Amino acid sequence: MGMTIAQKILKAHLVDGEMVQGQEIGLRIDQTLTQDATGTMAYLQFEAMGVDQVKTERSVAYIDHNTLQSGFENADDHKYIGSVAKKHGIYYSKAGNGICHQVHLERFGAPGKTLIGSDSHTPTGGGIGMLAFGAGGLDVAVAMGGGAYYIPMPKMVRVNLTGKLSPWVSAKDVILDVLRQMTVKGGVGKIVEYAGEGVKTLSVPERATITNMGAELGATTSLFPSDEETKKFLEAQGRGDVWVPLSSDPDAVYDEEYTVDLSALEPLAAMPHMPDNVKKVSEIGEIKVNQCCIGSCTNSSYYDMMKVASILKGKTVHPDVSLTISPGSKQVLDMLAQNGALADIIAAGARILECACGPCIGMGQSPESAGVSLRTFNRNFEGRSGTQDAQIYLVSPEVAAASALAGVLTDPRTLGEMPAIEMPAHFVINDNMIIKPSEHPEAVEVVRGPNIKPFPLGHALEASYTGKVVLKTEDNITTDHILPAGAKLLPYRSNVPYYSNYCFINVDPEFPARCREQGGGIIVGGANYGQGSSREHAALVPLYLGVKAVLCKSFARIHKANLVNSGILPLTFADPADYDAVNLLDEISLPHVQEEIRSGRQVTVVCGGRTFHADCEVSDRQRRALLAGGTLNDARQQAQ
């Protein structure tokens, strides 16, 4: 039997387990990346491991999330991350150099390599044929220390691309169509591979847009073949020597197959408040628009920005619209400045923002009350923009630019002939904002500011547990629900005690106080609990508040792993109907939990005089970690 691309890379990096679907496998990791909103915790955990120098081929620390320095907190975090990087063999990408996924694609990514990053959109690297995973900070720290990265062996999904994109239709429309077909839960436990004749019609930036938003499927990762188009991109980046061809075998077997006819697609939009709530732009109609934001790790490439510049050239943004542009990297901004496209964008009335994540994570540019904002980003979760009642639509750069000019949601096909945009034969290369690690690490002092607090550690699992239900949620709770981002709160990612005051604040403002009053407890959730960002703070902060278990219908992959790493029990209802019988502040007992977790049996749950069962579907390694109260505790026990 032939192999898929993913299976070939998995096999080449397998260090533990067998490639049997559903069984846990351990992988050797070639590269890691962190960003500053998750990086501080990752590096505190790395330091706790006592490893002098990273063991990976390349590890990079990016500053791209918390770049708004309205107080000392963000600057102190950057100083800490920079000093850790210099001391421990990590490359450091300074604030302003660009968004981690865009820069990594340009300057470090390589086909056939494995990459994990403490950001859920790390699968962007699949655009050049990397096997790239989003992960929690502790998993990244372990990989930097030379440890394996563990995942359940995924199912394989093939998306066949046929035809060729029509004018004014883009890669964003491709992934929105896949989301429409598969939904935000459809990719859980699966790797998505793109194949078919349509693949060769897509440039690497277009492919990266598609793999980037594969995170919204809940997929383990997504990737494209490495072909002549990949080689051309890497050569234009001056890195042609890292290219290798990668393709699936003709007789490779996939568990699921989908088809997207590129030639039949038209401009699409994801409507509020979920990336799979997709409709045709022509079907939605000409709704009034207040704001358009173009950028993010999904759509901030040179290719995207040149399309926007060509649409805006010689025109003026509608007087009722605020248009913001966030180039994805210094390379992109530099090239726009040199060829005059930046002048065209500025002349049209756009606001030029820093080469950073910016509005995508609520770091500025929050819309007006009940405002309609079109964004080329990857997520439109309620409140993520920083305005709770804003209506956020996810669209392509073409739709956003056309709508910014018209003042209403606009199908760009009404603009006439589409300008031809060519990928450059050579990109401008200037890595002067990437700082190499020190050649004398023993002389480097790690600098810790007063906002950097120790991360919480769990306690060994007791024989039994009794606690109150401190929260009951619906389906599709995101990590943005658990811990909001935005300019007001992101500076406190290094300060779990302070951040804990805002846990679930937009779901139930009383949650933090209730946890403290009850001494912690159990969270009850619906399906796909913890979707979205990889932020392990969504596990660390509930741990700090005393949460011992999350009992839900199903989990998102990364969040479940983060719960285990923190020592919080990830339990699922054996019978989903039992969810309806559990209410806020009910007392729940797990009378035999330690023995049941140890033996791998179903966990007995007693609530309101009823007894039912929950599953704890984890590997033997994770079972050991839960018994120890978390992965770090387990690692220390194993070392002893």
**575 occurs within a structural domain:** yes
Alpha-carbon span 427 to 205, nearest angstrom:
13
119 a catalytic residue: yes
Whether residues 621 and 489 share a domain: the answer is yes
CA distances from 100 to 13, 94, 355, 386, 520 (A): 24, 10, 10, 22, 36
pLDDT digits (tens, 9 = 90+) for 201-235: 999 999 999 999 999 999 999 999 999 999 999 99
Among the listed residues 396, 533, 554, 566, the single catalytic one is: 533
What's the CA gap between 81 and 341, in Å, rounded?
A: 34
HEC readout, 385-403: CCCCCCEEEECCHHHHHHH
Would you say residue 254 lies in a domain? no
Give the dihedral of Cα atoms 415, 420, 424, 429; nearest 10 deg.
-10
Residue 318 scores a pLDDT above 90 = yes
Statement to judge: residues 384 and 494 lie in one domain: no
- pLDDT of 635: 82
Continuous H helices in 501-556: 511-518, 537-544
Domain that holds residue 314: 268-413
283 and 395 share one domain: yes
* Within a domain: 579: yes
H or E element, residue 61: strand 58-62
Is 227 annotated in the active site?
Answer: no
519 and 587 fall within a common domain: yes
Is 334 inside a domain boundary? Answer: yes
Do residue 469 and residue 551 come from a single domain?
yes
Residue 65 among the catalytic residues: yes
Q: How many domains does the chain have?
A: 2
The CATH number linked to 288 is: 3.30.499.10
Residue 84 lies in a domain: no
Closest CA to 213 of 247, 250, 182, 256: 182
Active-site option among 13, 28, 30, 64: 64
pLDDT digits (tens, 9 = 90+) for 434-486: 999 999 999 999 999 999 988 898 999 999 999 999 999 999 999 989 998 88
Give yes or no for residue 102 having a pLDDT over 80: yes
Predicted confidence band of residue 398 (pLDDT cuts 50, 70, 90) = very high
Domain match, 347 and 486 both: no
Residue 97 located in a structural domain: no
Token pair for 498: 């302070």
Match 């945009």 to its residue by tokens: 421
CATH number of the CATH domain containing 511: 3.20.19.10
Per-residue pLDDT tens over the stretch 151-161:
999 999 999 99
**Is residue 536 predicted with pLDDT exceeding 80?**
yes
Complete edge-to-edge strand list for the sheet that includes strand 221-223:
221-223, 190-195, 155-162, 256-261
pLDDT of residue 81: 96
Do 349 and 479 fall within a single domain? Answer: no
User: Are 394 and 483 contained in the same domain?
Assistant: no
180 is catalytic: no
User: What pLDDT is recorded for position 181?
Assistant: 96
- Residue 636 pLDDT greater than 90, yes or no: no
Same domain for 387 and 484, yes or no, is no
Q: What is the pLDDT of residues 568-588, one digit of tens each?
A: 999 999 999 999 999 999 999
Q: Is 535 part of the annotated catalytic residue set?
A: yes
Per-residue pLDDT, averaged over 596-612, amounts to 95
CA distance 449 to 465: 37
- The residue from 65, 318, 384, 413 that is catalytic is 65
Please give the Cα distance from 563 to 86 (Å, whole number).
Answer: 30
Element (H, E) at 10: helix 5-13
Q: Which of 119, 334, 411, 480 is catalytic?
A: 119
Do 516 and 377 lie in one domain? The reply is no
Binning pLDDT at 50, 70 and 90, where does residue 363 land?
confident
Catalytic option among 88, 535, 537, 623: 535
Write b or e for each residue in 277-305: b if 16 or more Cβ atoms lie within 10 A of its Cβ, otherwise e: bbeebeebeeeebbbbbbbbbbbbbbbbb
Pairing of the two strands 14-16 and 24-27: antiparallel
Same domain, 469 and 388: no
Examine the residue annotation and report whether 64 is marked as an active-site residue of this protein.
yes
User: pLDDT grade, residue 622 (50/70/90)?
Assistant: very high
Identify whether 447 is part of a domain. no
User: Could you read off the pLDDT of 25-40 as tens digits, one per residue?
Assistant: 999 999 999 999 899 9
Is 300 a domain residue? yes
Q: What is the pLDDT of residues 183-203, one digit of tens each?
A: 999 999 999 999 999 999 999
* Residues 478 and 407 reside in one and the same domain: no
What's the pLDDT at 25?
97
In the prediction, which pLDDT does 385 show?
Answer: 85
Report field, pTM of the whole predicted structure over 0.85: yes
Q: Which of 380, 413, 446 is the last residue of a domain?
A: 413
Which tokens belong to 144?
Answer: 């930097």
The pLDDT of residue 10: 98
Share of the chain above pLDDT 70, in %: 100
Residue 104: its pLDDT value, please? 98
